[in-house]
Structure 1
């Protein structure tokens, strides 16, 4: 037998032998971790965290939350696991279609569960609005990971901190004048938008637009009107019609955040106050006539339920119907 042929037969025999050996199980890292640690969670606001970093562990990996403890005491966090009532969706929710209470209730149900869910496939948490019933502080948790190579427990693998954040987002306001019958326009002084949470009860927002003296314009008298090509407060009133009073527009909402959907201009609300209702201070418009409308716009979102008062204060503008 020639030597090259002999060597080839030896290599082939080795390959056959190796192919019969059991394949080594997958890899499960000792360094599985949460990169955003500690995770910051604003109480009362729905928050989904980032998934765990599996550090190259062989997929699929499943995760089990073993315990959550109060970091200050080291004791099991009973408050985290306590049940509270909240809604969960039981089928697909489309805010553009499910725009009545009847349709909304057909895709959700009331449950009595802890303030969080833990995703066994990603290791991520989802915290719900019922965290507003959980004490402030930092909590430590343990996780078990399992894949084809077995299981490993990660003690004190991560922490999350519950803190009180603002229950709303104030993105500011602006105001422009337009000359009647033209596209000629300019800026009026920047309005002040004040958001007050009057109560933690209910799901209501009260919108008031007032002049520089604090006098409210009367929506019941159409003293500020919608602009046909722009979103208005009514655009975002999905489940209940607006209530119109002499001093405010009132919207009862059902879901947070509010607004839950965007309009053509995002979440911005636009209105127009006709020139026969509002007088603009001298020196702002080209002429001192009442042929200029006042056009405020403003953007806000509410992250938690409650009763809110949103006040738009317009400087350089006086309510003066003629």
Structure 2
């Protein structure tokens, strides 16, 4: 009986001790992660990652960016935390109706953005177009995560690989075909539409060299030369007839087109240029031109047995009858800036 009283006397002490213990709330893992690690980003291109994998950590989460460091050196990269000027579209851009810069500017406004933002609730990494200001390379990020359990910091939680963008591409190689002056009929040769190397925009009859020369404004400076380097005046490049209308040229896609003594300048609002709307239209983004006989001294034959670079091609003059020249080209620009397009008609001599 005495033993029973001792047990009953101790019960209040045990209950009091249990009541004083702090009950921990929730769980915050030491091992949250991203499914894509490293995460590859193209410089200047918007991208949003998937959310962080919380490893059963108790929601809600509050994820913040602590640091971005160069993977090789471990040094802080301040460029990720700077704000840069960029345009934001307030209404959708329509390349068929937004045909002047006044109309375009009414739909967009200039603002400032950071290259990298993070969604606090999900941990999603948001890369904006101003990553164009980040040097290509590999970077690593540190995060801080808070939830009802507490706060922890996570170093090197994800690597980011910034790659340089493709500036432009040749959708197909250009060519120049002789055509009768009396009818819409080509004078075909065995070599006239054969490609030597599409990756450098070269066929047996034409070679389009593209070079980016400035980061702004967005424009193409288009120069056309004959086989000796003589420049055709811009007015020599006319629209090519197609029934009662004309085929597309770069002017079709540009916001503004004008000329100087040696070149045609096409200004555009945004990339890719031409806009993707045109990809699904008749003839896609092919640009067609006609150079009339008044500008042409002769066209050439070509020795097709010795095409492939670094071998040169042998050309011989052909002037049996007056001809016009039909030119076709197709390119796509992916990064903003000023580009020089130099098209050499390798089988053509200018008058």
Q: Same fold (TM over 0.5)?
A: yes
Give distance in 2, aligned partners of 1:105 and 1:76. 37
Aligned 1:299-318 pairs, distance under 5 A? 299-318=330-349
Residue 138 of structure 1, CA deviation:
1.9
- Give the match for residue 324 of structure 2: 293
Deviations 1:264-285 (A, max 9, x none): 3333322122244322114799
Distance 2:66 2:77 in 1: 8
Matching of residues 265-276 of structure 1 within 5 Å: 265-276=283-294
What residue is the counterpart of 2:140 in the other structure?
140
Q: Which residue of 2 aligns with 1:257?
A: 272
The alignment's TM-score, normalised by the length of structure 2, stands at: 0.66
Partners of 1:299 and 1:57 in 2: CA distance: 52
Partner of 1:280: 299
| In structure 2, C-alpha distance between the alignment counterparts of 1:149 and 1:178, rounded to whole Å | 77
Q: 1:230 to 1:31 in 2, by over 3 A?
A: farther
* TM-superposed deviation, 1:146: 9.4
8 Å CA contact 1:41–1:162 kept in 2: the answer is: yes
Any conservation in 2 of the 1:146–1:152 contact (CA below 8 Å)? yes
For 1:272, what is the secondary structure of its paired residue? strand
Distance in 2, matches of 1:57 and 1:131, equals 32
- CA gap of 1:147–1:105, structure 2 versus 1, over 3 A, is farther
Residue of structure 2 equivalent to 1:198: 213
**Cα distance in 1 for residues equivalent to 2:265 and 2:38:** 41
CA contact (8 A) 2:208 2:342 kept: yes
Aligned to 1:230, which of 247, 252, 258?
247
The answer to whether the 8 A contact 1:236-1:261 is kept is: no
Distance 1:252 1:56 in 2: 50
**Equivalent residue number for residue 51 of structure 1:** 50
Structure having the higher Rg:
2
Which segments of 5 or more consecutive residues in structure 2 lack a partner in the other structure?
1-25, 194-203, 304-315
SS of alignment partner, residue 252 of structure 2: helix
How far is 1:118 from its partner? 4.2
* Contact 1:34-1:158 within 8 A present in 2 as well: no
The correspondence of residues 71-86 of structure 1 with structure 2, limited to 5 A, is 71-86=71-86
Question: Which runs of 5 or more structure 1 residues have no equivalent in the other structure?
Answer: 1-24
Shift of 1:232: 0.3
Counterpart CA distance in 2 for 1:297 and 1:152 is 61
* Structure 1 residues 90 and 225: CA distance shift in structure 2, 3 A: closer
What is the alpha-carbon distance in structure 2 between the residues aligned to residue 268 and residue 173 of structure 1? 11
Contact (CA 8 Å) 1:269, 1:298: kept in 2 or not?
A: yes
Change (3 A) 1:131 1:35: closer
Q: Alpha carbon RMSD of aligned pairs, Å?
A: 3.9
CA distance in 1, matches of 2:60, 2:224: 54
Contact 1:227 1:270 in 2 (8 A): no
